[in-house]
Structures are given as structure tokens and as C-alpha cells.
Structure 1
Amino acid sequence: MLEIKPETVLPAEGVTIAEAAERTGVSVHTLRYYERAGLVVTPIDRTPGGRRRYHHRDLRWIDICTRLRATGMPIRSIRRYAELVMAGTGNEAERLALLEAHQAETAARLAELRTHLDRIDHKVATYRARLAEGRAEGLWTPNP
């Protein structure tokens, strides 16, 4: 996943779907899916021939959607967030509540993962120490 920085320069006419996929780190299929699923907050521009053209605002929004999804936010919640954004001003408190709830869920999952990782780190250290000492006995040897 790439970070779309505000200073990223795009051609005035935008970029193709393939270039947008490369810049955002998601597949062309995912970009089309985001559009079909109602996750995109502005209509994607089209060339006279009907080909999609993505602009900086589109890439920034795709980056946010991708990060929300990567942290486990359900598609329906991302869609709700997109709907709120598309509705314009006046619902910022609801947007904030949605994001804060996801933030809390993500923090809880991260804390749980850290606990699991601590235990794995301990086991790795134990194996390294025992192997360095030349004594691997007692390291979870199955009993017949």
C-alpha cells in the first residue's frame, strides 16, 4: 500500500485506471469494485472514449478506503462513511463517531496481537538460547 501524499503531482487530465492501481497499490479490479460498491465519494472522470481518469482527490480517497479495509473495517461501514462524506457538511459528528469506533476496535485488535507477539518472542528467545547452549531437550517434544 502506497501513501498518496498531497504533493504528489498528477497530470491535469488525471491518470488511467492502471496508473491509479500502481500508485495506490491496489488492483484494477479493486478500483472498479470500490466504484461499484459505492465507496467512491466523487464520480470518476471519464475520457470521451469512456475510460476512467483518476485525479489526486480520487487517489487520496482510495488510500483512505484501502487503509480502513486493511484494518478490518467492514465494507458496509466504509460505504456509510462514504455516504456521509458525499452528503456534505453537517454530519461530521457522525463521521467522527464512526471513525472513533473503528479506531477503538483496531487498537484492541492491535493490543491482542502485541500480547500474542510477546509470547512468540519469548518462545523464539527460548529456542535460540537453548540451541546456542547445545541443549534442545524440553522444547515441546511430543511424548509417544
Structure 2
Amino acid sequence: MTITEVSKKYDMSQDTLRYYERIGLIPAVNRTKGGMRDYTEESCAWIELAKCMRSAGIPIEALIEYCALTQQGDETIIARKELLVEERTKLLEKMEDMKKTLERLNYKIDRYEKAEVTGVLSWDK
């Protein structure tokens, strides 16, 4: 696939795709004889992983490290697993924080909806 096709498929700019490759977030993409990027299924799998993890807030540095470890081979399996477990723990903590924030927002919205009906809003915290 060309960079234009991949850009459209994953709704990512071509600049972002080039950047991800340049910093090692995705392994080097194959090139045609003319030097054009030629994305394979494997390349696209890395892009999908990067997009998914970035949308969840996983830091670029952690993903670069994961990619580098993967390229080093099976001797890094334990390190890769530890990295993923650490990021999962952080993500779960973030999700808990977001859940608390959502509960707070729902509480406040409920109070305003009641105030719309009664015309009274008690002290707002």
C-alpha cells in the first residue's frame, strides 16, 4: 500500500506516518525501487497498534521501546511483557480517575437538571 492509501485507511496524516517511522514507533517501511514507501500487512499492523495505544494515552516513548525490543527478537519477551503490564497498570489508574470525573460530572448535571425543574440550585460544589 502507498502512504496515501495507508493515510486514508487509518485516518492519519502522511506526516504522522513518516514521523512514526523516523522515531522508531513503527519499524522501517519497505521501499519500492523508486524509493516510495510500500506498506505491508506487517507495517499496517504496527500502525494499528500505534494508533490504538496512542489513542489510549500510552506514551510514545513506551511504544518506541516496545518496538525496539520486538526487533531484538525473542530474548526480549519478558521485557516486552513487563513494559505492557506497566502501561496497563497506568491505564487502569487513568481509567479509574476518569470514572471518578465522570461520576462528578453526572452528579453536577443531575443537580442542574433538578434546578431547571424546581428553579432552585443549592450551593454548587
Aligned length: 124
- Report the alpha carbon displacement of residue 51 of structure 1 after superposing the two structures with TM: 1.1
Change (3 A) 1:47 1:119: same
Letter of the structure 1 residue corresponding to residue 72 of structure 2: A
Letter of the structure 2 residue corresponding to residue 82 of structure 1: C
After TM superposition, what 4+ stretches of structure 1 lie above 3 angstroms from structure 2?
Answer: 136-140
| Residues 47 and 53, structure 1, Cα contact 8 Å, conserved in 2 | yes
| Residues 112 and 121, structure 2, Cα contact 8 Å, conserved in 1 | no
With normalisation by structure 1, the TM-score equals 0.79
Which of 26, 50, 57 aligns to 2:42? It is: 57
Which of 53, 76, 82 aligns to 1:97? It is: 82
Q: Distance in 2 between matches of 1:128 and 1:47?
A: 60
Relative contact order, CA 8 A, sep 6+: which one is greater? 1
| Residues 37 and 79, structure 1, Cα contact 8 Å, conserved in 2 | yes
| 1:132 pairs with 2:117 | yes
Q: Output one character per residue of 1:43-86: Cα deviation in whole Å (capped at 9) or x when no partner.
A: 31222221111111111111111222222222222111011110
> 1:63-102 counterparts in 2 under 5 A?
63-102=48-87
Q: Output one character per residue of 1:79-137: Cα deviation in whole Å (capped at 9) or x when no partner.
A: 1101111011121111010001000001101100100110100110111122123x144
Letter of the structure 1 residue corresponding to residue 122 of structure 2: G
What residue in structure 2 maps to residue 29 of structure 1? 15
Provide the identity percentage: 28
| 1:19 pairs with 2:1 | no
CA RMSD of aligned residues (A): 1.5
The secondary structure found in structure 2 opposite 1:91 is helix
Q: Distance in 2 between matches of 1:67 and 1:30?
A: 14
Q: Output one character per residue of 1:11-50: Cα deviation in whole Å (capped at 9) or x when no partner.
A: xxxx110110111222111100011101223x31222221
What residue in structure 1 maps to residue 96 of structure 2? 111
| Residues 38 and 79, structure 1, Cα contact 8 Å, conserved in 2 | yes
| Residues 24 and 64, structure 2, Cα contact 8 Å, conserved in 1 | yes
Letter of the structure 2 residue corresponding to residue 48 of structure 1: K
Q: Distance in 1 between matches of 2:9 and 2:40?
A: 11
